[in-house]
């Protein structure tokens, strides 16, 4: 059981709550509690950005108001997710200690303002954070109403101040030992960028150095390290006061200003904030918004191998999309169910009450300025709460995936930074989605792992564009295959080492050429309007005759691998009959190599055929209608929950392989289950 579920064996239904903005009107705060109960809210996130209210003057801590709020909530059955306030700081601090403010890559220090505007190296800032966190912990770490620490808020970004430069140099000394080694690993003889003193090293900046790729990569690694150290400083006083209270911080989908995976050893539970642009299509099909957000849920679920929390989503609209459309009737329920389906143990909102002023005054909230509960949004929130109250048994339920996709932050940075072979977008994320989408559409559970995570237990491992190889990843891929796994490698794999130096000799490097039984001859990147054709010559399973490919086509030679498809082209670089898709038996396993950035249909055909051969089954043995997704979780004791989501404006029906019962209504369905437009169902086995 995850720790938070042990503390509160219910699905969390909560919201960000900023009572500090409403202290002038105690009636509002009293009302809030009554209205929260009406909305079936069982937890709130308190204290986010509340530093000015908690420490209005240096060293003067005002925690009584917070204690009163936490007590009142608790007495009314509402738990607290307590935030540390480091995401934004009081003006007095910025004035007195300018070093707490962030310095940009242009070496200009920011003025007081905004949020996430701090230096994570500054000893003063770390000390101030530690001091306020110590106060919060002393007062609340043993409060029965406090169930979770929420560290800062959407931690992100980098600082280039002198303190950070010094820390960066120290980090580099630790990593490389000698300047000679660093100069070699960064290849600094290029353009005469050789360093002769550690103090000459500066973080990357458009005003100075951006061309030393090893520097760029190490800088991002340093930012990740420093963020994790800042984080450790935040949690030490909290854990010292009560190690039983778990710790989380809210991630932003696919955000990579630092490497989230470096925080995982410090987190008890992963949480994320989900804000897709619902209703941005012309045909009412929400599939592509769902694809993106379900993929990120699967990333979060895979990070610690257990359920995550949905820390934020809007009950209606945001205020920062290009056009801030409110969720249409029923969409909140549908999007809540898809989060549960992909591993969430909570549905939480930003926010309870719309602020009256400043930049979020028009952001959606459960309570709007009208201050009424008889609104559509309030009713929808409340009915999500009622649904969650029935789902205690789902808390902590696991997803069992036999297939995994390797998607790695550092690899993404390196591909983006590489200068060539395409500077228009190499499409790393796009290729990831070509693998994810067909599995998702078929209802096949998939984990998403980074290059450091253990993937030995899967049956199928998809490895899009693993350009950068670090540590023993290549060896683990080889072992995985040798021991009977099926791996799919693609173009643009195994080209640089962990410091972004190109491998000498044959690639894919580090033994991956042997695993795949192929060797790279040339890369042929294409403009977006150019295409090549892949012609299937023989496959062990049904595929179409040919597929379109674009973006990046590799000319490879088969060195022992069986050729399953070839190019059919006029290109002199990729003459006809050069291999394009290969298969290699390696040890007890099999490696496929996809040399060209092929169209969606290719990945769908390949993956679904492979899944079938490998016994990787969808959660329901049925063909899902277009626009419907399915997922499942297994609760403690083996009870299965299935989820069906209809992302279209049309009525759909799903053929059932066995009778299922609607968990909410109790109604059983023998052969077919209807799904209303944008409908979603939570199902269990019918007796
Ligand atoms: C983020 C933040 C919140 C709020 C919302 C608005 O997720 O964490 O504080 O600003 O965005 O959508
Ligand atoms: Zn700094």
Nearest residue by C-alpha to atom 5 in ligand 1: 350
Q: Please say if 158 is a catalytic residue.
A: no
The reported pTM is: 0.98
pLDDT tens for 624-670 read 999 999 999 999 999 999 999 999 999 999 999 999 999 999 999 99
Token pair belonging to 650: 């049309």
Tokens of 684: 């269990």
Pocket of ligand 1 (CB under 6 A): 153-154, 273, 275, 312, 318, 350, 360, 363
- Rounded to the nearest angstrom, the distance between the alpha carbon of 210 and the centre of ligand 2 is 19
Nearest CA to ligand 1 atom 3: 350
- Ligand 1 atom nearest to 252, measured from its CA: 7
pLDDT digits over 676-685, tens only? Answer: 999 999 999 9
Question: Atom of ligand 1 at shortest distance to CA of 314?
Answer: 12
Q: What pLDDT is stored for residue 575 in this prediction?
A: 78
- In whole angstroms, what is the distance from residue 126 CA to residue 129 CA? 5
Residue nearest ligand 1's atom 12 by CA: 318
pLDDT at 569 over 90: no
pLDDT in tens, 318-371: 999 999 999 999 999 999 999 999 999 999 999 999 999 999 999 999 999 999
**What pLDDT, on the 0 to 100 scale, is given for residue 9?**
86
CB 464 within 8 A of CB 426: no
Look up tokens 């016994």; give the residue.
615
CATH number of 4-163+201-394: 3.20.20.80
Side-chain-facing half-sphere of 176: CA atoms under 13 Å: 20
DSSP per position, 422-470? -SS---HHHHHHHHHHHHHHHT--EEEE-TTS--TT-SEEEETT--B--
DSSP assignment of 541-604: S---SEEEEEEEEEEEEESSPEEEEEEE---SSS-TT-EEEEEEEETTEEEEEE-EEE-HHHHH
Superfamily grouping for domain 628-685: Golgi alpha-mannosidase II (2.60.40.1180)
Atom from ligand 1 closest to the CA of residue 154: 8
Counting ligand 1 atoms within 8 A of each CB, the residue from 17, 255, 322, 360 with the most, and so the one to mutate, is 360
**Looking at the predicted structure, is the pLDDT value of residue 3 above 50?**
no
pLDDT of residue 540: 87
| Residue pair 74/418 in contact by the 8 Å Cβ criterion | no
Q: Are the CB atoms for 122 and 167 separated by under 8 Å? A: no
Other beta carbons within 10 Å of 274: 23
Average pLDDT, the chain: 96
The CA–CA distances, whole Å, from 132 to 54, 114, 138 equal 8, 20, 10
Q: Whose CA is nearest to atom 4 of ligand 1?
A: 350
Alpha helix segments (H runs only) across 155-212? 162-176, 179-185
Determine the Cα–Cα distance for residues 674 and 658; give it in Å rounded to an integer. Answer: 15
Question: What is the C-alpha to C-alpha distance for residues 685 and 642, in angstroms, rounded to an integer?
Answer: 9
415-449 core/surface letters (b: 16 or more CB in 10 A; e: else): beebeebbeeebbbbebbbbbbbbbbbbbbbbbbb
Long-range contacts of 557-562 (CB under 8 A, 24+ apart): 557/518, 557/519, 557/521, 558/517, 558/518, 558/582, 559/513, 559/517, 559/518, 559/519, 560/517, 560/584, 561/516, 561/517, 561/518, 561/591, 561/593, 562/517
Query: How far is Cα 644 from Cα 680, in angstroms, rounded to an integer?
Result: 5
Whole-angstrom Cα distance, residue 493 to residue 513? 9
The Cα 196–Cα 173 span in angstroms is 13
Q: Which residues surround ligand 2, an ion (CB under 5 A)?
A: 119, 121, 159, 161, 163-164
Distance 99 CA to ligand 2 centre (A): 7
Which sequence spans correspond to the domains of the chain? 4-163+201-394, 403-613, 628-685
Whole-number Å distance, alpha carbon 492 to ligand 2 midpoint, is 35
In whole angstroms, what is the distance from residue 83 CA to residue 79 CA?
A: 13
Output phi, psi for 647, to 5 deg: -95, 10
Catalytic residue among 20, 158, 312, 410: 312
Tens-place pLDDT, residues 35-63:
999 999 999 999 999 999 999 999 999 99
pLDDT of residue 7: 58
For the CA of 250, the nearest atom of ligand 1: 8
Residue with tokens 């491992």: 461
- The class that CATH gives domain 403-613 is alpha beta
Examine the residue annotation and report whether 154 is marked as an active-site residue of this protein: yes
Q: How far, in Å, is the centroid of ligand 1 from the Cα of 154?
A: 8
pLDDT value of residue 5: 52
Q: From ligand 2's centre to the CA of 566, what distance in Å?
A: 53
Ligand nearest to the CA of 153: 1
Q: Which residue of the set 154, 202, 234, 380 is catalytic?
A: 154
- Kindly give the number of the ligand 1 atom that is closest to the alpha carbon of 49: 9
Ligand 1 centroid to residue 671 C-alpha, Å: 43
Residue with tokens 């410090």: 266
Give the up-direction half-sphere exposure of residue 5: CA atoms within 13 A in the CB hemisphere: 21
Angle between helices 600-613 and 428-442 (to 10 degrees): 50
Tokens at residue 480, please?
Answer: 């995985």
Ligand index nearest the alpha carbon of residue 316: 1
Q: What is d(CA 25, CA 32) in angstroms, rounded to the nearest whole number?
A: 11
580 φ/ψ angles, rounded to the nearest 5 degrees: -130, -30
For a mutational test of ligand 1's pocket, the pick from 157, 318, 350, i.e. the residue with the most ligand atoms closer than 8 A to its C-beta, is 350
Q: Whose CA is nearest to atom 7 of ligand 1?
A: 273
Mean pLDDT of 174-195: 97
Q: How far is CA 229 from CA 126, 233, 255, 263, 582, in A?
A: 10, 6, 19, 9, 45
Distance (Å) from CA 350 to ligand 1 centroid: 6
Whether the pLDDT of residue 539 is over 60: the answer is: yes
CA-CA distances (angstroms) from residue 109 to 104, 162, 234? 6, 10, 23
Whole-number pLDDT of residue 290: 98
pLDDT above 50: residue 10: yes
The answer, yes or no, to whether residue 6 has pLDDT greater than 60, is: no
Which residues, 6+ apart, have CB-to-CB distance to 641 below 8 Å?
394, 397, 632, 633, 634, 635, 663, 682, 683, 684
| Three-class secondary structure assignment of 629-665 | EEEEEECHHHCEEEEEEECCCCCEEEECCCCEEECCC
Return the ligand number nearest the Cα of 16: 1
Check whether 292 has a pLDDT greater than 80. yes
pLDDT at residue 577, rounded to an integer: 86
| Tokens matching residue 57 | 């003057």
State residue 2's pLDDT score: 38
Nearest to 82 by CA among 55, 130, 43, 46: 46
């Amino acid at each position: 059981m995850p720790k938070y579920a042990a503390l509160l064996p219910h699905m969390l239904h909560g919201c960000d709550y900023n009572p500090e903005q409403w202290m002038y009107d105690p009636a509002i705060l009293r009302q809030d509690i009554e209205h929260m109960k009406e909305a079936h809210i069982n937890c709130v996130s308190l204290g986010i950005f509340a530093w000015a209210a908690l420490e209005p003057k240096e060293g003067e801590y005002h925690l009584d108001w917070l204690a009163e709020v936490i007590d009142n909530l608790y007495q009314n059955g509402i738990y607290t997710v307590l935030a540390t306030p480091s995401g934004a700081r009081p003006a007095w601090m910025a004035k007195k200690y300018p070093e707490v403010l962030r310095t940009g890559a242009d070496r200009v220090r920011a003025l007081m303002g905004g949020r996430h505007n701090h230096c994570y190296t500054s000893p003063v800032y770390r000390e101030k954070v530690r001091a306020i966190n110590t106060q919060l912990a002393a007062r609340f770490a043993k409060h029965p109403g406090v169930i979770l620490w929420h560290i800062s808020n959407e931690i992100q970004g980098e600082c280039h101040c002198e303190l950070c430069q010094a820390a960066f140099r120290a980090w580099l000394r630790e990593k490389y030992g000698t300047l000679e080694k660093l100069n070699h690993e960064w290849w600094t003889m290029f353009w005469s960028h050789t360093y002769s003193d550690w103090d000459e090293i500066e973080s990357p900046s458009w005003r100075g150095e951006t061309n030393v790729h090893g520097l760029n990569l190490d800088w991002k690694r340093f930012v990740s390290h420093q963020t994790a150290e800042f984080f450790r400083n935040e949690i030490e006083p909290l854990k010292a006061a009560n190690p039983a209270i778990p710790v989380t911080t809210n991630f932003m989908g696919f955000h990579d200003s630092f490497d989230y995976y470096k925080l995982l050893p410090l987190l008890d539970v992963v949480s994320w904030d989900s804000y897709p642009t619902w209703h941005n299509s012309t045909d009412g099909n929400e599939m592509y918004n769902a694809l993106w957000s379900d993929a990120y849920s699967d990333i979060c679920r895979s990070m610690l191998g257990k359920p995550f929390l949905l820390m934020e989503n809007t009950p209606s609209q945001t205020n920062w999309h290009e056009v801030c459309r409110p969720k249409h009737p029923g969409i909140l329920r549908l999007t809540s169910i898809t989060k549960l389906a992909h591993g969430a143990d909570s549905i939480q909102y930003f926010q309870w009450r719309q602020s009256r002023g400043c930049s979020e005054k028009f952001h959606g909230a459960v309570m709007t300025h009208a201050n009424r509960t008889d609104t559509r949004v309030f009713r929808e929130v409340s009915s999500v709460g009622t649904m969650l109250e029935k789902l205690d048994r789902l808390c902590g339920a696991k997803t069992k995936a036999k297939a995994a996709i390797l998607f790695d932050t550092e690899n993404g940075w390196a591909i983006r930074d590489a200068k060539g072979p395409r500077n228009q977008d190499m499409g790393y994320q796009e290729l990831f989605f070509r693998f994810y989408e067909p599995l998702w559409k078929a209802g096949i559970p998939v984990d998403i792992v980074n290059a450091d995570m253990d993937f030995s237990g899967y049956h199928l491992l998809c490895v899009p564009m693993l350009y950068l190889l670090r540590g023993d990843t290549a060896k683990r891929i080889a072992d995985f295959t040798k021991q009977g796994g099926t791996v799919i490698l693609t173009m643009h794999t195994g080209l640089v080492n962990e410091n972004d130096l190109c491998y000498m000799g044959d690639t894919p490097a580090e033994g991956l050429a042997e695993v795949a039984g192929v060797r790279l001859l040339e890369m042929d990147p294409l403009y977006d309007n150019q295409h090549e054709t892949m012609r299937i010559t023989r496959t062990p399973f049904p595929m179409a005759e040919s597929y379109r490919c674009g973006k990046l086509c590799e000319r490879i030679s088969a060195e022992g691998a069986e050729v399953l498809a070839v190019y059919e082209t006029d290109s002199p670089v990729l003459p006809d009959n050069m291999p394009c898709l290969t298969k290699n038996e390696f040890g007890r396993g099999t490696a496929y190599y996809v040399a060209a950035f092929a169209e969606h249909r290719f990945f769908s055909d390949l993956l679904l055929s492979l899944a079938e051969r490998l016994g990787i089954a969808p959660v329901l043995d049925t063909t899902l209608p277009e626009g419907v997704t399915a997922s499942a979780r297994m609760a403690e004791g083996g009870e299965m929950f299935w989820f069906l989501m209809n992302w279209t404006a049309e009525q759909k029906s799903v053929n059932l392989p066995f009778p299922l019962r609607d968990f909410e209504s109790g109604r059983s369905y023998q052969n077919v289950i209807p799904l209303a437009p944008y409908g979603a169902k939570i199902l269990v086995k019918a007796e």
